[in-house]
Amino acid sequence: MAEQLRLMAVHAHPDDESSKGAATMAKYVAEGVSVLVATCTGGERGSVLNPKLDRPDVWANIADIRRAEMDAARAILGVEQAWLGFVDSGLPEGDPLPPLPEGCFGLQDLAVATGPLVRLIREFRPHVVTTYPEDGGYPHPDHIMCHKITVAAFEAAGDPDQFPELGEAWQPLKLYYDIGFSKARFMALHEAVLAAGLTSPYEEWLKNWGEDRPDKGPRITTRVECAEYFPVRDDALRAHATQIDPDGFFFQVPMEIQQRAWPTEDFELVKSLVESPMPESDLFAGIRGTARAR
């Protein structure tokens, strides 16, 4: 019997796992891959983006609510999930930007913040790890720190001289960045919506593309066909009810148009210890049939 493949996705907050790479995770779960989401913070300082839930009772219990939402999303995706235990930094706003709250994830010493992820990698022993690009995908301090600790832990987990107290060394074989926001993807969706005689939610966004969001589309190395699992992704996203407006941006393009116009989720392979031809269609390319035993 072939060894079970293992994938770890490292995310900053509860809900990020459902908006970035969720259909890919659901696809791999359906294929028998063991998938673990590592969530860096509890999302305690996140906004309530669903106007129907923007109430004092929700704000008073936001930490517990976000954990319950994560439990629901995890069950929908079929993944395992672990909390790294850091406190949400919040998204600073204003000019000049205010300082981050004391003790938050974004202010942690990198070596200290890397330790819990190293421990988790050594316990779960993933063959593949995914996270965000160096800018966090967008400039949230928790997303940027999530990127930093994932890159550091990918290297440290396999080195027995680093964090020797955190378990037996385990070296993942591939590290990917999620590249969900590419201009080509949104242009394809925009044009498909217009061709169907509908109003595109992306028109103004595409006009301003590049002013504050450099296009990472040319960096994509790996496109995973997962359109069948887009409804699972959306169900998991709706489970984060405080964070997602069910009438908002994410759900304005009909599902059949999404599945037809751009049926993949896209990634950049940034570190690999195995050979795999480019472009890829599988995060486990070069690993299948050769994966090391747990």
Binding-site residues for Zn(2+), please?
13, 16, 143
Nearest Cα neighbor of 132 from 84, 193, 180 is 180
Kindly give, in sequence order, each residue whose CB lies less than 8 Å from that of residue 240, ignoring residues fewer than 6 positions away.
14, 15, 18, 66, 69, 70, 73
Stretch (H or E) spanning 289: none
Rounded Cα distance, 163 and 156, in Å: 8
Identify residue 139 by its one-letter amino acid code.
P
Q: Is 205 exposed, middle or buried (0-12, 13-18, 19+ CB in 10 A)?
A: middle
Contact 174, 287 (CB under 8 A): yes
How far is it, in rounded angstroms, from Cα 107 to Cα 90? 12
Q: And the tokens for 253?
A: 């393009």
Which are the contacts of 4, defined by CB distance < 8 A and separation ≥ 6? 32, 33, 34, 294
Numbered residues of the known binding site: 13, 16, 143
Q: Widest CA span of the chain, in angstroms?
A: 60
By C-alpha distance, which of 149, 137, 82 is closest to 112?
149
State the DSSP H helix or E strand holding residue 232, giving kind and residue range, or none if neither: helix 230-239
Spatial contact of 231 and 258, defined as CB atoms under 8 Å apart: no
